[in-house]
């Protein structure tokens, strides 16, 4: 089992969801987050006072997947989230120790 975290542009969410659905990824958690990597922020001016806004709104998708789905998922996200500009986001992959379904206490891949 692996955990995948993908930080994407908010505008790409529907494309990414559709692409993941196509390869059979059913569950995910989506978080509204703020942050930045190489992308520089922008400047806002209110009554002559300048504010640098460098933490930009992004979406973070979290999924826990059986190993066989990891590569197709990464491919699907790469294809569907890409706009080619700085700020498209990143994908992180973690090994995962255990997953437990709270309702019936199933464990491992059965819980996914």
Smallest distance, Å, CB 30 to other proteins? 16
Pairing of strands 2-8, 56-65: antiparallel
Report angle CA 2, 8, 12 to the nearest 5 degrees.
120
Q: Find the radius of gyration of the CA atoms of the chain.
A: 17
Binding mask 24-63 for other proteins (x = CB under 8 A): --------------------xxxxxx-xx-----------
Considering the complex, state which of residue 51 and residue 94 has its C-beta at the smaller distance from other proteins.
51
Which residues are near other proteins by CB under 8 A? 44-49, 51-52
């Amino acid at each position: 089992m692996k955990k995948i975290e993908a930080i994407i542009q908010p505008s790409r969410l529907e494309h990414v969801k559709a692409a993941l659905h196509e390869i059979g990824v059913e569950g995910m958690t989506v978080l509204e987050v703020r942050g930045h990597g190489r992308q520089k922020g922008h400047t806002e001016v209110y009554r002559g006072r300048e504010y640098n806004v460098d933490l930009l709104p992004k979406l973070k998708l979290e999924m826990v997947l059986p190993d066989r789905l990891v590569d197709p998922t990464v491919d699907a996200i790469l294809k569907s989230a890409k706009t080619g500009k700085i700020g498209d986001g990143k994908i992180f992959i973690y090994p995962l120790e255990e997953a437990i379904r709270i309702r019936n206490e199933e464990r491992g891949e059965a819980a996914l």
